[in-house]
Amino acid sequence: MKIEYLFEVSSTNDYIRKYLEVGQDVIVCAERQSGGKGTKGRSFSSQIGGVYLTMLKFYENFPASDAFRVMANAAVAVCKTVESFGATPEIKWANDVFVSGRKICGILIENILDGGKIRASIVGVGLNVSNNLSGLEEIAIALSEIVQPTPKVERVRERLIDALQKSYDFEEYRSYIKFLGKNITVFEAGKTYRAVAREILPDGRLEIEQDGALRVLSAAEISIGL
């Protein structure tokens, strides 16, 4: 797979789109992003000291109904990367990776559809290694707070690139889910309510129990604990 290294770019997810017409699998890495993107249009802090990369991968005969596999694979790749340096990661549904109750990585995915198939996926990853998280200490964590001596960014990036190019099954994804059976707060369609997380279904949906009744979430945000 082609790998391109940049010092600074607005967003690796945006930059990599130029390869869509080339039809080539590629990974673009940057030392920092001036306009890093998170989910739902949020910004993502991308200062020097973190791993910021995006992978563009093309497929043949990949049903759109299996799109969750792209997200799950990326989350497991991140977990295995930080785990290899001594951290203990967990996945918070659907693809945020946490360590010690704080977010260590953000994943942003865009699937390019062609009919009922996924033609290609754009998988952006921002992983905190030794970057400055001032102002975000309560919600974010970096490897430098967990692992001593702190691994070099280049080494973490190499591990992540290798992990992203592997395939993982659903059970590996589920093994990093630690909140099942626990109370959660759900933020859905402008409403906030309490529930108990019951199961992650093979298609990535979250089964919850609310007021004694089971229901399934396809898209929502959750907070673990009450």
Task: Report pLDDT digits (tens) over 208-218.
Answer: 999 999 999 99
pLDDT (0 to 100) of residue 27: 98
Residue 37 pLDDT more than 60? no
Query: Is residue 159 located within the same domain as residue 189?
Result: no
Query: Is residue 153 located within the same domain as residue 188?
Result: no
The band of 33, judged by pLDDT with boundaries at 50, 70 and 90, is confident
How far apart are alpha carbons 77 and 89 in whole angstroms?
11
CB atoms within 10 A of CB 168: 18
Query: Is residue 134 located within the same domain as residue 56?
Result: yes
Query: Is residue 171 located within the same domain as residue 93?
Result: yes
Q: Hey, what are 219's tokens?
A: 């898209």
- pLDDT tens digits along 112-148: 999 899 999 999 999 999 998 988 889 999 999 999 9
Residue 94 pLDDT more than 90? no
Query: Is residue 171 located within the same domain as residue 187?
Result: no
Residue 36 pLDDT more than 70? no
pLDDT (0 to 100) of residue 49: 94
Query: Is residue 46 located within the same domain as residue 122?
Result: yes
Phi then psi for residue 203, to 5 deg, are -90, 5
Query: Is residue 137 located within the same domain as residue 105?
Result: yes
Residue 45 pLDDT more than 80? no
- pLDDT tens digits along 65-84: 999 999 999 999 999 999 99
Query: Is residue 155 located within the same domain as residue 212?
Result: no
Query: Is residue 119 located within the same domain as residue 212?
Result: no
Residue 6 pLDDT more than 70? yes
Q: What CATH number does the domain containing 201 carry?
A: 2.30.30
- Model-level pTM greater than 0.85? yes
Query: Is residue 45 located within the same domain as residue 110?
Result: yes
Q: What CATH number does the domain containing 127 carry?
A: 3.30.930.10
Number of domains in the chain: 2
- Full domain range(s) for residue 168: 2-175
Residue 46: which of 145, 135, 127, 150 has the closest Cα? 127
CB 159 within 8 A of CB 84: yes
Query: Is residue 109 located within the same domain as residue 214?
Result: no
Query: Is residue 139 located within the same domain as residue 197?
Result: no
Alpha-carbon distances, residue 37 vs 18, 48, 125 (angstroms):
17, 16, 10
What is the rounded average pLDDT for all residues in the chain? 92
pLDDT (0 to 100) of residue 44: 62
